[in-house]
Amino acid sequence: MAGTGERSSIQSVADAAGVSPTTVSHALSGKRAVSPRTRERIFAAIEAQNYRPNMVAKGLRSRRTQSVALLLVDIANPYYPAVARAIHDVLAAEGYVSFIGNTDGDADTERKLLEEMVARGVDGVVMQPVALSAAEVREIAGPETALVITTTEAGEMPADAVLTDDVRGLTEAVTHLADQGVHELGFIGGFPGASAGPLRVDTFEAAIGGASVPEGWIEHATFTREGGEAAAARLLALPHRPRAILCANDLIAIGAVEATRAAGLRVPEDVAIVGFDDIDTASLVSPALTTVVNPAAAVGDACARTILWRVEHGPGAPYRKTVLPTHLVVRQSA
Amino acid sequence: MAGTGERSSIQSVADAAGVSPTTVSHALSGKRAVSPRTRERIFAAIEAQNYRPNMVAKGLRSRRTQSVALLLVDIANPYYPAVARAIHDVLAAEGYVSFIGNTDGDADTERKLLEEMVARGVDGVVMQPVALSAAEVREIAGPETALVITTTEAGEMPADAVLTDDVRGLTEAVTHLADQGVHELGFIGGFPGASAGPLRVDTFEAAIGGASVPEGWIEHATFTREGGEAAAARLLALPHRPRAILCANDLIAIGAVEATRAAGLRVPEDVAIVGFDDIDTASLVSPALTTVVNPAAAVGDACARTILWRVEHGPGAPYRKTVLPTHLVVRQSA
DNA sequence: GTGAAAGCGCTAACAT
DNA sequence: ATGTTAGCGCTTTCAC
């Protein structure tokens, strides 16, 4: 019988077992030896009272909350759930819980959410900053909080990082196009000013080896089908239009396909379209999307493991960088 | 200049402002009047020290953590991110943060996650229980925690509820099929034994008005394309097979379409397929999925508002039930 | 309008 | 192997 309503405390368990709260604490944590007979009485009392340690009190005292914050751009955008799920799985197995936040790539939101999480004493944060620099993020997180940044940027940063080699997959796409004689490439990116975060213009430029791009062939869109459709329409309305469009994510690419057809052009014969991420939908639409595989689950997994590793090793250990490859999967759209 | 590393406390702010911690607390919370001049000094000190209240300490003392737990089946399954995002948006606007957990519809996981969240003192939990009954969930959550359950079940439950009228949309689907002379209906559900959670067999039975279903026409699958493909294959291998298959979600339906084609049959001429949820992909595949629209964003929004309402009104107020309609959208697969 | 004292439920340091 | 003491950083009486 539980049921009296009152949550029991470590003190009430100690009373029932005839020991001190300290001993109960140690019986639970295993941080120091407790005799078998005492243990037994303690656990009997815990059972009887249906006692559950108050994690808030524990967090305040021990300065460890067994929690981590996931600060992603937008959980509703199909790439992120797979990342979040992978992170959640490895963290949950280690007894951590996850906070989740959507930044939308907005500087104020990124800052506010991060501060909020730090104020809640999270042991770690996994973040994909878009508007904030890695240095700013570290500044807010403080030196003690485990911090993993995911992005494509490979420069130095004062944090552990899980990077995807976006240039590699995109270069494969460029090569694949070139093999078919397609050299006139346009690009639709997201967040115009961003120096980190989702696929960016500089990645595109790296992939085309610094070749110059005609005026207007680089467009920006929100990471949605609608955004892609509008941006592609602008691109295709140009007097001299590209023969292929590389897109910062698959949703944009799907919108671009629609815009292309709406303009009376064929995909891929008139305009080839390449997506990015390889979300489930990519292989299901028609034409099936030729796209660059962004290994969401592997990214999430690496982020979580890095957090765990950092929590274990403390802030003193050197920064750890994990780079995951991306690669092209050729389907029908290019 | 921040930068000394040490996080400042309410005490250090009080010292700097020449007041007591009590006054700082009140200046921050607005729970009692503070003279303008004092206020000013306090906020100057806060600014100078870059002070952020420790939410863990605040939570321990005040028994309010300004946090809520989202215990969904699987964030990686396309229906849920939209729900989560909507919840997050309304909660974040009110200063709440969100925990997230994936239960996979497993009883132990549901229980463990829920206990964990209660131990962390969340002010509320939004849950879609599958294996646990609403009563069990309430038992674990305790009477004080705001609890919103989302499901399709319309029975009494000791919690606030946000329900979708799944029978309605499914009935529209059955009628639509009947209008075309299609009366032989099979069903692919998820979690076999579930009495709550995602679309269930009893909903299907209600939609067909209690008509009897031939042996083997009710199948179960995981909520994935692969699951749907395998289950549909079993259905179609039957000596007497259904002329239409209603599916518990769109992923299953997409798999069913593939299985149908793999069996050399046409969709919808030989076998009509109806999905559920109307995820983004549904309108993008070909044939475009005829499906029942499950209003994810409205569900999330209602869940969050209900939590907020319950937190404001306390456990004494009568349970609140919100029912959201579903409706059929006819495309190509049926 | 403000402050002093107490204490939320735990764990860490220092005992023995 | 166990207990005592102190205190994490706040908010809440209760006092003036």
Chain B's closest residue to A67, CA to CA, is B99
Half-sphere exposure of A237 (CA within 13 A, CB side): 9
Write out the two tokens for A155.
């420069």
Closest to B167 measured CA to CA, from B129, B217, B210: B210
CA–CA dist B46, B40 (Å, integer):
10
- The CATH class for the domain spanning B10-53 reads mainly alpha
Chain A contact present for B90, CB below 8 A: no
A62: CB within 7 A of chain C nucleic strand: yes
Task: Tell me how many degrees the CA angle B220-B226-B229 measures, rounded to the nearest 5.
Answer: 65
Interatomic CA–C1' length for residue A26 and nucleotide C15, angstroms? 16
Chain B contact present for A92, CB below 8 A: yes
Residue A249 has pLDDT above 70, yes or no: yes
Percent of chain A residues topping a pLDDT of 70:
98
Q: Which pLDDT value is given to residue B212?
A: 86
DSSP conformation letters of A191-247: STT-SSSSS-HHHHHHHTTT----TT-EEE--SSHHHHHHHHHHHHTSSS--SEEEE
CA–CA dist B164, A167 (Å, integer):
45
Query: How many helices and strands (H and E) does chain B possess?
Result: 12, 12
Q: How far is B283 from chain A (nearest CA, A)?
A: 9
Chain B contact present for A108, CB below 8 A: no
Strand B327-329 relative to strand B290-293: parallel, antiparallel, unpaired?
antiparallel
Q: Which pLDDT value is given to residue A1?
A: 36
Query: Three-state SS across B46-61?
Result: HHHHCCCCCHHHHHHH
Q: Which pLDDT value is given to residue B2?
A: 41
Minimum-distance nucleotide, CA of A33 to C1'? D1
DSSP conformation letters of B82-106: HHHHHHHHHHHHTT-EEEEEE-TT-
Q: Which pLDDT value is given to residue A5?
A: 58
Q: From the C1' of D3, which residue's alpha carbon is nearest? A: A20
Q: Is B193 exposed, middle or buried (0-12, 13-18, 19+ CB in 10 A)?
A: exposed
Chain A contact present for B97, CB below 8 A: yes
Residues of chain B found within 8 Å of residue A7, distances taken between Cβ atoms? 142
Q: Is the CATH number 1.10.240.10 carried by domain A65-163+296-323?
A: no
Q: Which residues contact A178 (CB under 8 A, 6 or more apart)?
A: none
Residue A35 phi/psi, 5-degree rounding, is -65, 145
Write out the two tokens for B44.
């100057």
Chain B's closest residue to A120, CA to CA, is B55
Chain B's closest residue to A283, CA to CA, is B285
Half-sphere exposure of B211 (CA within 13 A, CB side): 14
Contact A105, A80 (CB under 8 A): no
Residue A154 phi/psi, 5-degree rounding, is -110, 5
Output B174-179 pairs: Cβ under 8 A, ≥24 positions apart: B174/B207, B174/B208, B174/B246, B176/B290, B176/B328, B176/B330, B176/B334, B177/B244, B177/B272, B177/B274, B177/B334
Query: Which range is least confidently modeled, A99-103, A215-219, B152-156, B177-181?
Result: B152-156
Query: How many helices and strands (H and E) does chain A possess?
Result: 12, 12
Nearest CB to B99 within list A99, A116, A284: A99
Q: How far apart are the first and last CA of chain A?
A: 66
Q: For residues A33-50, give the mean pLDDT.
A: 96
Chain A's closest residue to B79, CA to CA, is A76
Minimum-distance nucleotide, CA of B58 to C1'? D10
Contact B135, B312 (CB under 8 A): no
Task: Tell me how many degrees the CA angle B168-B169-B172 measures, rounded to the nearest 5.
Answer: 90
With CB atoms and an 8 Å threshold, state whether B55 touches A85: no
Closest to A180 measured CA to CA, from A333, A29, A1, A55: A333
Half-sphere exposure of A329 (CA within 13 A, CB side): 18
- CATH number for region B166-293: 3.40.50.2300
Interatomic CA–C1' length for residue A94 and nucleotide C15, angstroms? 34
Burial A251-279 (b: 16+ CB within 10 A, else e): bbbbbbbbbbeeeeeebbeebbbbbbbbb
Which helix (H) or strand (E) element contains residue A125? strand A124-127
Chain B's closest residue to A282, CA to CA, is B281
Beta strand ranges found along chain B (DSSP E): 67-72, 97-102, 124-127, 146-151, 160-165, 185-189, 218-220, 244-247, 272-277, 290-293, 321-325, 327-329
Find the farthest-apart pair of alpha carbons in chain A and give their distance in angstroms, rounded.
86
Write out the two tokens for B171.
């009935």
CA–CA dist B84, A102 (Å, integer):
10
Q: From the C1' of C12, which residue's alpha carbon is nearest? A: A62
If DSSP codes are grouped into helix, strand and coil, which group holds residue B189? strand
Residue holding tokens 């460029």?
A: A174
Contact B308, B90 (CB under 8 A): yes
Write out the two tokens for B267.
């969709």
Residue holding tokens 């969050």?
A: B304
With CB atoms and an 8 Å threshold, state whether B78 touches A78: yes
For chain B, positions 261-300, list CB contacts with chain A under 8 A: 280-281, 284-286
Residue A3 has pLDDT above 70, yes or no: no
Q: For residues A146-162, give the mean pLDDT.
A: 92
For chain B (length 334 residues), average pLDDT per consecutive 10?
68 97 97 96 97 98 98 96 98 98 97 98 97 96 96 88 96 98 96 85 92 92 97 97 97 98 97 97 96 98 98 96 97 97
If DSSP codes are grouped into helix, strand and coil, which group holds residue A73? coil
Beta partners for A109? none
Query: Which range is least confidently modeled, A77-86, A133-142, B189-198?
Result: B189-198
CA–CA dist B232, B192 (Å, integer):
16
Sign of the dihedral through C-alpha B15, B17, B23, B25: negative
Interatomic CA–C1' length for residue B23 and nucleotide D16, angstroms? 15
Q: What's the pLDDT band for A194 if we cut at 50, 70, 90?
A: confident
Q: How far is A146 from chain B (nearest CA, A)?
A: 15
CA–CA dist B5, A262 (Å, integer):
57
Which helix (H) or strand (E) element contains residue A97? strand A97-102
Interatomic CA–C1' length for residue B34 and nucleotide C2, angstroms? 8
Closest to A185 measured CA to CA, from A334, A5, A17: A334
A22: CB within 7 A of chain C nucleic strand: yes
Task: Tell me, rounded to whole angstroms, the distance of Cα B245 from its chain centroid.
Answer: 25
Structural domain boundaries of chain B? 10-53, 65-163+296-323, 166-293
Interatomic CA–C1' length for residue B58 and nucleotide C7, angstroms? 13
Closest to B227 measured CA to CA, from B205, B206, B243, B248: B248
Over chain A, what is the mean pLDDT?
Answer: 95
Residue A125 has pLDDT above 90, yes or no: yes
B62: CB within 7 A of chain D nucleic strand: yes
Relative orientation angle of helices A107-119 and A134-141, to the nearest 10 degrees: 30
Domains B10-53 and B166-293 share a fold: no
